[in-house]
Amino acid sequence: MARGARLPYLRPMSSRFDSVPHRRALIDRRAVAERLAAIETSDPTAMRRAATTELKAALDAGQSEIAQRLREHPSRGHEMAAAGAF
């Protein structure tokens, strides 16, 4: 590192979520992206509606997974908070 160079203040975001196990169970980003890309319409309103429906379903599934994990391990609140931010 060059003299006088500053270290970044924040660590990379990925390290914040390293404590969250099985992140793909919360959201499979690749699958969601593929489903969004598969939406075929030229109408912007219909596209927005379909994308919103898809994203809402992914959000609901992730929140359901977090709630299940919290029921199974109620003492892991910090982990669940990180999972919710993920």
pLDDT tier, 39 (very low <50, low <70, confident <90, very high otherwise) = very high
DSSP 10-79: S--HHHHTTT-S-HHHH--HHHHHHHHHT---S-HHHHHHHHHHHHHHHHHHHHHHHHHHHHH-TT-HHH
How far is 41 from 24, CA to CA, in rounded Å?
A: 28
- 65 or 9, which is more confident? 65
- List pLDDT tens digits, range 58-78: 999 999 999 999 999 999 888
Q: What would the mean pLDDT of 10-39 be, rounded to a whole number?
A: 82
Q: Which of 49 and 16 is assigned the larger pLDDT?
A: 49
Query: Residue 8 above 80 pLDDT?
Result: no
Statement: the pTM of the whole predicted model exceeds 0.85:
no
